[in-house]
Structure 1
């Protein structure tokens, strides 16, 4: 798109980077499922007679938590989605003004044949690189971040989880300094650590605490799996951009390790996520949860095969699917497997 030409809706939608959005919604679903499981352990002593004072207090807390459950879930989902969009626009702005996205003003569908993709991996357009004024992209990032802040404050007021304010501030700072500022940590190879912390631990455990007023081992295990899935998505993305990043001095983990070792690291993370998710669903809903995991194992295997072939469009799609699959798996296992004592 020529400089100064108004961006169309398709370009702005592409600028939200839709393939990354599952990494924002999935942790909220997992955190909500873990919170739901914990909340329903509060009525396990209902058959005890005479009813202890602790059970009376638990039943009152149960009604309070259930009464605000769905409004807080929706608010957490808005926070996660808008924060991810804000980060994507901010990254577009930062990479665009640095020239990292030079040449990404052509739709990825223009690289049509499979042979072309193997030698020139298809890459989605970027807003600044396509001629959209950088200040307009930065403004869009600010608007998305503001919506996330409003929704986050509402969730905190409803749940009284005031310490989550600090988590929210750290998440905003992490989103900006991933590629923004004078020394972006995404350019130094720490992007994977960032997404593990904020799209895994912070997102899942923050959601669980906002909904249940506590966190537990089930939530921690789910948070680690979500963090690993977010890492897989970023690792595939960085493998796709390896040559361009190296040329522009962006020292991602893929650049630091090299393609072969980066693919090994991707495989290790995938295996770790599969093993932990197997243990988690086995605990929640034996043996059907395990059967569901095994039934979907073809997707991560296909992702590795696509990376080996440099078919990153399919690999990114599979990485996003795997993120959503795990979230759906946890929700189904919590719903079908009954309440797990914590």
Structure 2
């Protein structure tokens, strides 16, 4: 077993997309719980304060166990999706020649290095890759079930089932939606809205407008990570009839869409961070503005290794700043 090959198959540069929304959702949930447990000292204690504290105390008691479980769920689901994607593309032949095609070019070093090795295309038996995907998905399901049992957020079971199904049908099944250009939409929904709002609800039993705004930011950041990946693979995807959004739009229009998403994510993220912690939240976020500028400027130059690293970094940057701002506020 080639450990280095399997680590590459994990696609570690995609993991920030799973870590960031849970971090943001947990921070916003902590803010909600703290506000529930805070009351002005007076005697007799207002009935509303008594009721709020009764709600806040059990939420505080299980906050960290559920937060850690949510983080494991997100990361394991991402790993399961990566392995399932490798398996499905491998058995379809979509990954055939991806790495070797790039090795014939000496003018695009960054593009070549950025491509992770595909497990099935590299000779790993497909059943082993499928088994790895199944194990990761099973562990994610167990962690999710434990989180639901602790938090009693039973409707999140349905979200978990949909997430696992979405991970498989991205490139699996007879009509994978990833081959129809809907991958970015699914990433926005599941690594943005579902992950942030699901975490926030599991921890605080509520969802607020700030959570929705943060979920949109995380979803856009995750979608941009996939956009860069698909722009990198646009030629090989086109050759294998994998009609990603980049293939459907063409390289130029897909690059413009990437820039638009980046502007929207940063505008909303800046507003959110400043709202939570004026003005320092905004200042902290702006301190990293060079990263998205370099990301969008690297794509037209086909410097995808740089662009992918920057896309992952800005995803975590927003999450960390938003989490710090929410906790301090």
Q: Is TM more than 0.5 here?
A: yes
Q: Deviations over 1:44-70 (max 9, x none)?
A: 324243222221121122111111000
Q: Does 1:53 align with 2:53?
A: no
CA 1:112 to 1:189, structure 2 compared with 1: closer, same or farther past 3 Å? closer
- 1:221: which partner in 2? 213
Residue of structure 2 equivalent to 1:128 = 120
Are 2:311 and 1:316 equivalent residues in the alignment? no
TM-score normalized by the length of structure 1: 0.93
Query: 5 Å matches for 1:89-128?
Result: 89-104=83-98, 115-117=107-109, 122-128=114-120
Partners of 2:8 and 2:179 in 1: CA distance = 23
SS in 2 for 1:296: coil
Partner of 2:172: 180
- Deviations 1:196-254, CA, capped at 9 Å, x for gaps: 00000000000000000011011111100000000110000000000011111111110
Deviation at 1:103, TM superposition (A): 1.8
- Aligned equivalents of 2:281 and 2:260: distance in 1? 22
The two structures have a TM-score, normalised by structure 2, of 0.96
Structure 1 stretches of 4+ moved >6 Å: 110-113
**Superposition deviation, residue 292 in structure 1:** 1.1
* Kept after mapping to 2: 8 A contact 1:107/1:123: no
Q: Deviations over 1:46-104 (max 9, x none)?
A: 42432222211211221111110000011001100111000000000000011111124
Shift of 1:305: 1.3
Cα distance between partner residues in 2 of 1:294 and 1:111: 40
Structure-to-structure mapping, 1:159-178, within 5 angstroms: 159-178=151-170
Task: Write the distance in 2 (CA, Å) between the matches of 1:107 and 1:151.
Answer: 40
Q: Offset of 1:334 from its aligned partner?
A: 1.5
- Matches of 2:281 and 2:314, distance apart in 1: 15
- Distance verdict in 2 for CA 1:214–1:118, change over 3 Å: closer
Matches within 5 A, 1:1-342: 7-104=1-98, 115-117=107-109, 122-336=114-328, 338=329
Equivalents in 2 of 1:139, 1:118: separation in Å?
32
Contact 1:105–1:130 at 8 Å: present in 2 too? no
Contact 2:111–2:303 at 8 Å: present in 1 too? Answer: no
Change (3 A) 1:152 1:107: farther
In structure 1, runs of 5+ residues without a counterpart are 1-6
Q: Which runs of 5+ in 2 are unaligned?
A: none
**C-alpha distance in 2, partners of 1:119/1:85?**
23
Whole-angstrom distance in 1 between the partners of 2:220 and 2:248: 19
Q: Between Structure 1 and Structure 2, how many residues are aligned?
A: 329
Q: Which residue of 2 is the match for residue 3 of structure 1?
A: none
Return closer, same or farther for 1:119/1:22 CA change in 2, 3 Å cut-off: closer
- Partners of 1:251 and 1:123 in 2: how far apart? 19
Higher mean C-alpha deviation, range 163-172 or range 121-130: 121-130
CA distance in 2, matches of 1:121, 1:187: 24
Corresponding residue SS for 1:130: coil
SS in 1 for 2:95: coil
Q: Please list the CA deviations of residues 182-209 of structure 1 after superposition, one character each: whole Å capped at 9, or x if unmatched.
A: 0000000000000000000000000000
